[in-house]
Amino acid sequence: MEKRLGFLLIERKVGGPSGGGSRVTPQGKELMKRYHRFQKDVNTSFEKFYRTHFNFEKEGGLEMRKLLREVRNELDIPVVLVTHDFEDAYLLGNHILIYGRVKQVGERDDIFQKPQSKSVAQFLGLRNLFRAKILKKDEHLHRLILEVDGLRFSISADSRRSPVQVGMEVDLYVRPDEIMIIREGKPVKESLRHNIFVGEIVDIIDRSNYRLVYFQTLKGKILFEISIPNYAFRNLDLSTGKTVRIALREESLWVMV
């Protein structure tokens, strides 16, 4: 390296208080400074590039994601994408690995809708995670009865990945986009009758394309985050402080052991 550069990086000396008196030469120090400036410029440029082409809020980001999907599909080759952006992972990935120590590997929808553990769910930023206790099994109806702070949930026995026993404590995940706010006077489908709760709307947040409605049950004071598309929100006439009923779809419930 020194021969190619034409100068010494280290001035080598024998002896010294630490057993050696070698030190970096002025030319070596200058080269290190130039490298650090180069590295900073590269990081800044890459950051600008990423924001321009991958930011979900910008039209360019949507076009770049579309292009990447088309190239991957046309060439039919494996592509490894390393990202901290969950939207990128969901929109561009078919098979996802949660890395650090490997937490979970699986298909895209399996990862986001059926997390293997509470730690995976928290890493993904999922809401509506509750500690529950299994009270009983209904073998005839193939259902489990769970309790969270006095509130009972009836779920399909298939809504879990591992075997469970009566008396076990488990983590319950309720998907915000599968919670239905029941319109006044509207009949409830039989499939929704297993989990209907009465409560109060404590907050509403406008997310531009959808609303986040925070609902607290009267019994147990359990807080749910509910995601509602704007068109549905307009038809429900919701406001803070209003008492409403919610129904949990079968698809909204998932148990983690």
Contact 257/160 with Cβ under 8 angstroms?
Answer: yes
Predicted pLDDT at 214 = 96
Predicted pLDDT at 50 = 61
Inside any domain, residue 138: no
Inside any domain, residue 189: yes
The token duo for 251 is 């698809």
Inside any domain, residue 45: yes
Q: Which domain holds residue 66?
A: 25-74
- Residue 125 has φ and ψ, to the nearest 5°, of 75, 25
Predicted pLDDT at 134 = 93
Inside any domain, residue 155: no
Q: In the chain, pLDDT over 70 holds for what percent of residues?
A: 85
Inside any domain, residue 60: yes
CATH number at residue 202: 2.40.50.140
Inside any domain, residue 62: yes
pLDDT tens, residue by residue, 200-235: 999 999 988 899 999 999 998 999 999 999 999 988
Predicted pLDDT at 56 = 47
Predicted pLDDT at 227 = 94
Mean pLDDT of 5-22: 65
Residues, the chain, total? 257
CB atoms within 10 A of CB 121: 21
- What does R_g of the chain's alpha carbons equal in angstroms? 27
Q: Please give the tally of structural domains in the chain.
A: 2
pLDDT tens, residue by residue, 35-51: 788 777 766 776 666 66
Boundary of a domain, candidates 74, 105, 136 = 74
| Distance set, CA 1 to CA 5, 8, 10, 30, 227 (Å) | 6, 9, 11, 15, 59
pLDDT-derived band of residue 52, with 50, 70 and 90 as boundaries? low
Q: Specify the higher pLDDT residue, 158 or 171.
A: 171
Contacts of 175 (CB under 8 A, 6+ apart): 113, 128, 251, 252, 253, 254
Q: Specify the higher pLDDT residue, 57 or 175.
A: 175
Inside any domain, residue 122: no
| pTM of the model as a whole | 0.64
Distance, CA of 119 to CA of 173 (rounded, Å): 12
Residue 240 has pLDDT above 50, yes or no: yes
What average pLDDT does the structure give for the chain?
Answer: 82
Boundary of a domain, candidates 34, 55, 74 = 74
